[in-house]
Amino acid sequence: MKKKAKIYIPAKTATQSGRGKQKTWVLEFETKDPHTNSLMGWESSSDTLKEVKLRFTSKDKAIDYATHNNIDFSVIEPKQKTFVIKSYEENFTKN
């Protein structure tokens, strides 16, 4: 059975103001059999690959690693932000 993974750039947390840590790509494996523990109600799995998150400096390196190790993967491209540059005056005048 082949391993499945997703390759993406993680989103920044609400407490981060900069975008410095958004340059690393992450390869994260998908869990085969998540289930809920009947005693405690926690989500559990017998698949230990869920705990593994590999970080790469570029998307190409992550894809090369996945193809070299025979891992099925999907790439999730980051959304591009568009910045609207406004002057202070535009806060008070109608467009």
pLDDT at 20: 67
Distance CA 75, CA 70 (A): 15
Instruction: Give the DSSP H or E segment for 95.
Output: none
Question: Is a pLDDT exceeding 70 seen at residue 21?
Answer: no
Q: pLDDT (tens digit, 9 = 90+) per residue, 23-78?
A: 899 999 987 777 777 788 887 777 778 788 999 999 999 999 999 999 999 999 98
Beta carbons of 13 and 69 less than 8 angstroms apart: no
pLDDT at 63: 95
Q: Which domains does the chain have, with CATH numbers?
A: 3-91 (3.30.160.190)
pLDDT at 22: 73
Closest CA to 31 of 8, 47, 43: 47
Question: Is a pLDDT exceeding 90 seen at residue 19?
Answer: no
Name which residue leads in pLDDT, 94 or 41. 41
Instruction: Give the DSSP H or E segment for 60.
Output: helix 59-68
Q: For the whole model, what pTM was predicted?
A: 0.69
Six-digit token pair at 4?
């499945």
